[in-house]
Amino acid sequence: MSDTFEKPADAVGAAEDPTSPVLRLESVRKTYGKDTVVLRDVDLEVAPHTVTALIGASGSGKSTLLRCVNLLEEIDDGAILLDGEDITDPRIDPDTVRRRIGVVFQAYNLFPHMTVLDNITLAPRRVHGVAKEEAEERARELLERLGLGAKATSYPDRLSGGQQQRAAIVRALAVRPRLLLLDEITAALDPELVGEVLNVVRDLKDEGMTMVLATHEMGFAREVADQVCFLDAGVVRERGTPAELFGAPKEARTQQFLKRIVEAGRL
């Protein structure tokens, strides 16, 4: 997929600097109501062509963090920068920002009344103004690379869960995102289908895609991530390389969490 990650022609923001973070969160805070703090002064940097894995118990803030990055949730304080530009500035058009960010959720969110090909080409054609022929050519190329070439004209209900999730990944890649967010993309899959989706993420890493993924697949995070962040009650309690965080965690809460993961046979 050497051409998969080209910068969109209509992208906004500063020129990309290969030495600067693609994504930076500065003291990001998110609350629901008056008393429920979901993210507490979160700082995070994601370097180009790296994978950052967010781990932690359900309710720790992983999915909310990703939704804030994609501007699906408004933050209450702090800043989120994409290629050096503060995308949480109220003067920024969220739709313009989202053109540079691909997102894959737990649920596949494919339109059931549209073929796989139409699902994938919808955003390139409607949002990015790509000609139908060009959008379909790229979609078919991506489908072929992800083992779905024969499914272009199928409807989602004719695909297995793993195939639907791979189609959702193709849809996210079709707009040539600068950054790809993956939110528990194996959570809704049968165990036997998890591997085929994780193989796609491995390939994307090898090809240089910048990704932030929230996952409960600890072994996979250990294998594929360049940086692992442990979230607990909306706080990044600890971060480091997989070897550091999984092999020698420093914080007591991290140690407790990983001990339970090991006891459950998930690491």
| pLDDT tens series, the chain, 267 aa | 444 444 443 444 445 667 799 999 999 999 998 789 999 999 999 999 999 999 999 999 999 999 999 999 999 999 999 999 999 999 999 989 999 999 998 888 899 999 999 999 999 999 888 999 999 999 999 999 889 999 999 999 999 999 999 999 999 999 999 999 999 998 888 888 888 889 999 999 999 999 999 999 999 999 999 999 999 999 999 999 999 999 999 999 999 999 999 998 887
At residue 58, the pLDDT reads 92
At residue 10, the pLDDT reads 40
At residue 17, the pLDDT reads 66
Q: Are 50 and 210 in contact (CB under 8 A)?
A: yes
Q: Are 185 and 106 in contact (CB under 8 A)?
A: yes
Output phi, psi for 216, to 5 deg.
Answer: -100, 0
Phi/psi-derived region of residue 192, left when phi > 0, alpha when psi is between -120 and 50, beta in every other case = alpha
| Amino acid in position 135 | A
Q: Are 143 and 151 in contact (CB under 8 A)?
A: yes
Question: CA dihedral defined by 12, 15, 19, 22, rounded to 10 degrees?
Answer: 0
Could you count the other beta carbons within 10 Å of the beta carbon of residue 114? 14
d(CA 116, CA 234): 36
At residue 1, the pLDDT reads 42
Could you count the other beta carbons within 10 Å of the beta carbon of residue 73? 17
Order of strands, sheet of 77-82, starting from the edge strand that comes earlier in the sequence: 36-46, 23-32, 77-82, 85-86
Residues whose CB is less than 8 angstroms from the CB of residue 121 and which lie 6 or more positions away in sequence, other chains included: 130, 132, 135, 136, 139, 174
Domain boundaries, the chain: 33-100+178-267, 111-177
* 33-100+178-267 belongs to CATH 3.80.30.20: no
| Amino acid in position 260 | R
Q: Are 64 and 11 in contact (CB under 8 A)?
A: no
Provide the 3-class DSSP secondary structure of residue 26.
strand
Q: Are 38 and 61 in contact (CB under 8 A)?
A: yes
At residue 267, the pLDDT reads 79
